[in-house]
Amino acid sequence: MTAMAIPPQNESGRALAFSFGDPESVLTNSPGDYLGVFLSPYDYYEPPISLRGLGKILRANGHHGTIPPFRRNRLLQYFKSSTVISDDSLGNASIDYDVFGNCYFQKVFNRFGQTIGFNHLPALNMRRMKEPDRFCQLRTNGDDPIMFQAGEVVHLKEYDVMQSIYGIPQYFGGIQSIMLSEDATLFRRKYYVNGAHMGYILYTSDSSLDERDEAAIKEAVKNSKGVGNFRSLYLNIPNGKKDSVQLIPVGDIATKDEYERIKNVTRAEILAMWRMQPALSGAMPDNAAGFGDIEKIADVYFEYETVPSQDVFLKLNQYLAPGLRLEFGKPEKVSKSA
């Protein structure tokens, strides 16, 4: 975090004001900067947005970060285990697809050149080559990329209207809501932990206070900040008048209300951009009636979200013989009504 500013001594008797540094975000640059697709020196296309930025932003908000694993679990819940692809590979690819808008599989061939399986390739380091149907994998140690043969990698992606090389995640338009929620939390943490706020003005107007008394009051107020926030302060002024000391609140209640509004609004936006039902997200209802019948909500979510996710990975069947094709089941209630 940015260091707290220390006010200089006010020896001139003039009014003095100072401010504190900005909180540090999870992201140093915005992942929302759409750079376009261009070729690197290794003849692969650079993604139009920062993939590392999309990965980091998962840690910026609790709701946003837990939804991709929830969607993965719902996908695997009805997956019929297969020798073609492991549950781990399918689950990891599901998270890649939701977070980055892209997922990749390396084909496993038999000795006759037929595809008999798939292995997941992490999307963060995968790149499309200039040559059609060729991909490479970047190395974390800076060595030359791993080159795959033409047709060896299957790339599943979301559609992007701006280019056809890479996919863009569906939640991309809501990134600012995630970052606003993070900014509000960082501000609130700094408010409590560092005491980097002006909760009140302590005003004294009694002429009986000497320099030692003033220095003692300043030291007591100073020590009430920081880790020991909101300590009680005892003040005794002999022969003081009714209005010798006044405590004037500054914006504390407004700040609290604004924080709650921001968190509630951004939570609603984050759940909406994922099309996530609040009842399934762990969010507390705002009314006594709750969210309704959880089983019906789960059934609707399955039909409108889980089934389309299944369809994405069923595209792998075009590379497999009929006896090896992937299959998904359905919940009992959905199966009876289907």
**Choice among 63-67, 180-184, 226-230 with the minimum mean pLDDT:** 226-230
Residue extents of the structural domains in the chain: 27-173+283-338, 180-256
Reply yes or no on whether the pLDDT at 122 is more than 80.
yes
Give me the mean pLDDT over the 152-166 stretch. 94
Please tell me the predicted confidence (pLDDT) of residue 108.
Answer: 97
State the average pLDDT for the chain.
82
Reply yes or no on whether the pLDDT at 169 is more than 90.
yes
Chain-centroid distance of CA 31 in Å reads 12
Distance CA(167)–CA(324), nearest Å, equals 27
Please tell me the predicted confidence (pLDDT) of residue 102.
Answer: 98
Distance CA(39)–CA(152), nearest Å, equals 21
Label residue 230 by pLDDT band (50, 70, 90): low
Cβ atoms < 10 Å from Cβ of 168: 22
Please tell me the predicted confidence (pLDDT) of residue 288.
Answer: 67
| Most trustworthy range by pLDDT among 31-40, 184-193, 221-230 | 184-193
Distance CA(96)–CA(270), nearest Å, equals 18
Reply yes or no on whether the pLDDT at 334 is more than 70.
no
Interval 297-316: pLDDT, tens: 999 999 999 999 999 999 99
Label residue 97 by pLDDT band (50, 70, 90): very high
Q: Which of 286, 331, 267 is CA-nearest to residue 60?
A: 267
Length of the chain: 338
